[in-house]
Structures are given as C-alpha cells and as structure tokens.
Amino acid sequence: MKFLGLLLLLLLASCATVSESGLFWGNYSKTLYESKKNPSPETLAKHKNELIDILKKSKELNLRPPPGIQAELGVLLMNEKDEKSARNYFSGEEVIYPESKVLVARLIDIMTGKKEKKK
C-alpha cells in the first residue's frame, strides 16, 4: 500500500503544475532567474524555449497562457530581428489580455522605430 501511495505521489509530482489561478507557469521562474543571474546565449535560449513550452502546454491543457508570456517572447524575437513572429506574439497577448493594448502598442512602436510622442 505504501508503494502505491509513493507511486501516486511521484506520478503527480511529474505532472504539469497549474497555479491556483489556473495558469501553467512551467519552469518560468527558474529559467528567468538563470538568464538574469548568468546571462549568456545558452541561458537566454533556455528561457526562450521555456516560454514556448509554457504556451504549448497551456494550449494542450486548454488554459490561457499566463499574462506577459507572449509579450516577453515577442520582445525576445524582436531582439532577434524576427518582426513577423514578434508581432504575432504581441497580437496574441493583446487578444487574450486586452488590458495589454498600451504595452503592445509601445512595443510595436519600439520595434518599428517610431519615437514616443512628447507631451
């Protein structure tokens, strides 16, 4: 009986974790921390891959992605000069989180080289 309990515990621990708010975060905190603590192309690539994985698994679990994930991935792609993909992720962020409209507009302005209007 103890073996079954242990097996069940291990099985549950290996499953995707979903936060109380119903969002799948994967290893976001870990890969972000590593990319900030030890900045390198490798740690940035791992974080980028984690963002992609979070979006994929969120879709598989029929969950909306956490706020900011698509925008962050869009910024990474923008920095890689992949404007088309960046726009797609910015657009996805705005569709799921309409309150991000101002942020997304500013990110697109930065990407296209438009200067901010001075007040």
80 belongs to a structural domain: yes
How is residue 1 annotated by DSSP? Answer: -
Does residue 41 belong to any structural domain of this protein?
yes
Q: Residues 28-41: what's their mean pLDDT?
A: 96
66 lies in some domain? yes
Assign 26 to helix, strand or coil. Answer: coil
CB 100 within 8 A of CB 94: yes
**Residue 6: is its pLDDT beyond 70?**
no
Domain that holds residue 30: 26-112
In a domain, 10, yes or no: no
User: Is the Cα torsion angle 67, 68, 69, 70 positive or negative in sign?
Assistant: positive
Q: What is the pLDDT of residues 47-59, one digit of tens each?
A: 999 999 999 999 9
- Global confidence as pTM: 0.79
SS (H, E, C) 56-112: HHHHHCCCCCCCCHHHHHHHHHHHCCCHHHHHHHHHHHHHHCHHHHHHHHHHHHHHH
Domain count, the chain: 1
Residue 91 lies in a domain: yes
Is residue 103 in some structural domain?
yes
The answer to whether 58 and 65 are in contact (CB under 8 A) is: yes
Q: Read off the tokens for 25.
A: 């975060």
Is residue 12 a part of any domain in this protein?
Answer: no
pLDDT at 7: 35
